[in-house]
């Protein structure tokens, strides 16, 4: 079992719809959860992070975390063609020495159709 699992997609949604991206993780001790957006040929860009169970909203983005189910998701409302990119889920665990081990999923490719 991979430590962080994502469906590679592509996930196709029409413009204006809600895109829902999902991620599961295996380490119950994980503490921090991140979503990165990566355009083709570019570096990953941090767009959301969440540490506590529940929802966290930032503009059109909402991150949802359910630690009991080991599940984190990213919702993109009013999807735009400019949202077309690969979205990476990252899960971090902090050890006693202060080192944060971060494990990335392979990413879900999102296509927003005009």
Interacting residue ranges for other proteins, rule: CB under 8 A: 32, 34, 42-46, 49, 88, 90, 92, 94, 98-102, 104-107
Residue 73 in contact with residue 22, Cβ under 8 Å?
Answer: yes
User: Residue 93: beta bridge partners?
Assistant: 101
Nearer to other proteins, 49 or 61 (CB): 49
Cα torsion 15, 19, 78, 89 to 10°: value is -120
Encoded tokens for 39: 């355009």
Q: Which is nearer to other proteins, 75 or 102 (CB)?
A: 102
Residue 102 CB, shortest distance to other proteins, in Å, is: 6
CB of 15 to other proteins, least distance (A): 28
């Amino acid at each position: 079992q991979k430590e962080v699992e994502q469906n590679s997609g592509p996930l196709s949604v029409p413009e204006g719809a809600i895109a829902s991206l999902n991620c599961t993780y295996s380490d119950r001790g994980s503490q921090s959860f991140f979503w990165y957006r990566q355009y083709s040929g570019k570096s990953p860009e941090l767009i959301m992070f969440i540490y506590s169970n529940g929802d966290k909203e930032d503009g059109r983005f909402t991150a949802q975390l359910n630690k009991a189910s080991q599940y984190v998701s990213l919702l993109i409302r009013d999807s735009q063609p400019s949202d077309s990119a690969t979205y990476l889920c990252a899960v971090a665990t902090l050890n006693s020495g202060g080192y944060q081990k971060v494990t990335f999923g392979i990413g879900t490719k999102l296509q927003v159709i005009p």
